[in-house]
Amino acid sequence: MKMTKPTANILLLFISLLWGSGFVVTKIALDANVSAGFINFFRGFLFALLVLIFFNKKIFNMTFRDFKIGLIAGLLNFGGFLTQTIGVKYTTPSNNAFISATYVVLIPFIAWALYRKPLRLKSFISISLCMLGMVILTGVWNKALTINIGDIYSLICALFYAGSIVYLGYGARKADVSIVAFMLAMVQAIGGLIFFLSVEREPLAEINWSAAIVPLLYVSILCSFVAQTIQITAQKHTSATSAGLIMMLEGVFGSVFSVAFGFEAFTVNLFIGGMLIMLSLILMEADFQPLRVKILGSAKGRMTKTERRRAG
């Protein structure tokens, strides 16, 4: 049975819910003394294992071209995951969720720089709203420009994610989805392991495994394997604008879960800053072309009637 657009949008909403909860779940794992590097290693390893189990035929037929595309995408993706995980360690899950989601605003500028895709006026309006929201959300306006280090990592994460999405959209269109997914997972696993062994070097014995194992399994299976598999399937049956708007709600869900689980209190700054960022994201993704055509068409129709009256 063919999937309908409403069903696809509901599935994408479910994905946003999973990703939003992932911010809080990652915070729980970090509080259980699991390092950022090990979280990424575990998440990537289990994700890669599941992709290999379900798509092993395609993986074993991987070409060098597929490998190269997947490697580049994987490095960009891993940079985003790592900085996001580090960021949530030093800031609130809500700040991490909203600031990381600004990748949507950055995408047009990176696409213009790398692939010469034209910039639109709404891009500049959107980035202005986004920056204003970040200023209010992070409290920079009343803290004498003291920005939390976790907020900076979250912003770097947004840059990595924007680069990854642009590359997948324009540089990796012909690559097989399952192969790219496998490479994303493998680079995350290997990169996380290298970062853990060379930079963190924290003993595994200090991890509170009873508190950490469920969050680790949650982000690996649900937030990575399940969410990305559903995303690939659902996006074939809905518009890009609808998908973008729905998936951006992960920031809202991340904030809701953060407040619900007691990681932060609900504040005016959180609400106003978050809403401005969400408004900027919606403005960036919304397509005003049909409305513009309708207005111009209506104006043209009225002009034609006037001209007819004059002619008569």
Q: Which domain holds residue 204?
A: 5-311
The secondary element (H helix, E strand) that includes residue 99 is helix 93-100
Reading the block at residue 195, the tokens are: 């970062």
**pLDDT, tens only, 216-234:** 999 999 988 888 778 767 7
Q: Is the pLDDT score of 292 beyond 70?
A: no
- Look at 42 and 200; give whichever has higher pLDDT: 42
120-152 in b/e form (b: 16+ CB < 10 A) is eeebeebbebbebbbbbbbbeeeeeeeebebbb
Task: Encode pLDDT of 133-178 as tens digits.
Answer: 777 766 655 555 456 788 888 889 888 988 887 787 676 667 777 8
Distance CA 180, CA 182 (A): 5
CA separation, residue 94 to residues 16, 98, 152, 271, 284 (Å):
14, 6, 14, 10, 21
Which residue type occupies 170? Y
* Mean pLDDT computed over 98-127: 76
pLDDT value of position 209: 92
Report, as an integer, the average pLDDT of 258-284.
77
Q: Tokens 């609400």 label which residue?
A: 271
- Indicate whether 308 pLDDT > 60: no
Q: What is the mean pLDDT of residues 84-112?
A: 76
Total residue count of the chain as it appears in this document = 312
How many domains would you assign to the chain?
Answer: 1
Residue 269 contacts residue 137 (beta carbons within 8 Å): yes
